[in-house]
Amino acid sequence: MASALAAPSGHYRPFCVGTDVVGWLDDARASTLARFRAVFEVETAGITFTPRLADCDARTAALEEVTRALSAEGHLTAWRDERYAVAARLEGEPIFFIERAAARFFGLKTYAAHLNGVVAGQDGVRMWIARRSASKAIDPGMLDNLVGGGIAAGATVRSTLVKEAWEEAGIQEHVAAMSQCAGDVRICRAQPDGLQRETIFVHDLWLAADFLPDNQDGEAVEHRLVDLPRAAALIAQQEGPDIVTADASLVILDFLLRQGALDADPAELAALDALRVPMLELHAPGAEA
């Protein structure tokens, strides 16, 4: 497992449901929630639902109104009409459901499935890289894994992978089913729209030499097949038109490490190493950052 963190500055308040800490909000976002007094109790020590919101259905309905208001005020990224199930653990009993666009605002733990599309040939291993559409709500125009997507409410890791493989690269279900799970990577970083806390389940799929990606949903606008040294160089880049998303960079780095393929120059290795900063604990206000 690899982890990455752009250490969040300032302090974060835990968002709790009972004894479960389900999210983290900075002081500015906590203050924004304070006006929704019928929904939240906002204190210095943390944020909770009001006692009347005692079950999943009540919390979900209240959050629908709150997130619609937050979206109208420009606090969220583009509305997706896709819900995430929030639970104490993956596939646990849902505590509430929430619009995907609000996940980072609340600093919720989210899950995704990504796939390294790789090809083995006489000239070595190569990897497919996609470019995200400029219309994407998150990381528009950046380079990405061949396949990747968040795990929505009611979906599993496997069903998400199969769905995204077809939509993003035209990979048929029976081919996607041959992918091999390689563990997970975890990312925690402050973003303009909140705190990203995500576990990404990594998969490798060895594709035929004549495979050509065929995007179905308009979310990828370019594909390129690169050798592993080039993949390492891409994720080490910090500026220019060919920046790889942080999520995909971590997934690619994990693959390169597993393949023993990091024959990069010292500067590139130093940049790659910066992606592997150990996870740090988030602190509530008053604690040392």
pLDDT in tens, 80-119: 999 999 998 888 899 999 999 999 999 999 999 999 999 9
Predicted confidence band of residue 287 (pLDDT cuts 50, 70, 90): very low
- Judge if 117 and 241 occupy the same domain: yes
Two tokens at 20? 């479960």
Give the pLDDT of residue 155: 94
Number of helices and strands in the chain (H, E): 7, 14
- Judge if 100 and 175 occupy the same domain: no
Bridge partners of residue 96, in order along the sequence: 86
- In a domain? residue 46: yes
- Judge if 123 and 231 occupy the same domain: yes
Give the residue-averaged pLDDT of 239-254.
94
Bridge partners of residue 114, in order along the sequence: 148, 202
Give the pLDDT of residue 270: 62
CATH number of the domain within which 32 lies: 3.30.750.160
- In a domain? residue 283: no
- Judge if 103 and 114 occupy the same domain: no
Please say which residue of 107, 135, 163 terminates a domain.
Answer: 107
For residues 233 and 263, the answer to whether their CB atoms sit within 8 Å is no
> HSE (CB half, 13 Å, CA atoms) of 225?
17
- In a domain? residue 284: no
Q: Residue 73 contacts by C-beta under 8 Å, 6 or more apart in sequence?
A: none
Give the pLDDT of residue 7: 45
- In a domain? residue 1: no
Q: Which residue has better confidence, 271 or 89?
A: 89
- Judge if 215 and 101 occupy the same domain: no
Predicted confidence band of residue 6 (pLDDT cuts 50, 70, 90): very low
Q: Which residue has better confidence, 270 or 29?
A: 29
Distances from the Cα of 6 to the Cαs of 17, 187, 195, in angstroms?
26, 9, 10
Predicted confidence band of residue 238 (pLDDT cuts 50, 70, 90): confident
Other beta carbons within 10 angstroms of residue 144's beta carbon come to: 23
Predicted confidence band of residue 284 (pLDDT cuts 50, 70, 90): very low
- Judge if 261 and 137 occupy the same domain: yes
Give the pLDDT of residue 151: 96
- In a domain? residue 132: yes
Give the pLDDT of residue 137: 86
**pLDDT tens-digit profile of 137-161?**
889 999 999 999 999 999 999 999 9
For residues 133 and 218, the answer to whether their CB atoms sit within 8 Å is yes
Give the pLDDT of residue 29: 97
- In a domain? residue 3: no
- In a domain? residue 97: yes
Give the residue-averaged pLDDT of 188-207.
94
- Judge if 103 and 165 occupy the same domain: no
Give the residue-averaged pLDDT of 183-197.
91
Give the pLDDT of residue 90: 87
Domain ranges, residue 29:
11-107
CATH number of the domain within which 204 lies: 3.90.79.10
Question: What is the domain count for the chain?
Answer: 2
Please say which residue of 60, 80, 107 terminates a domain.
Answer: 107
Please say which residue of 107, 130, 164 terminates a domain.
Answer: 107
Distances from the Cα of 66 to the Cαs of 25, 98, 283, in angstroms?
15, 10, 25
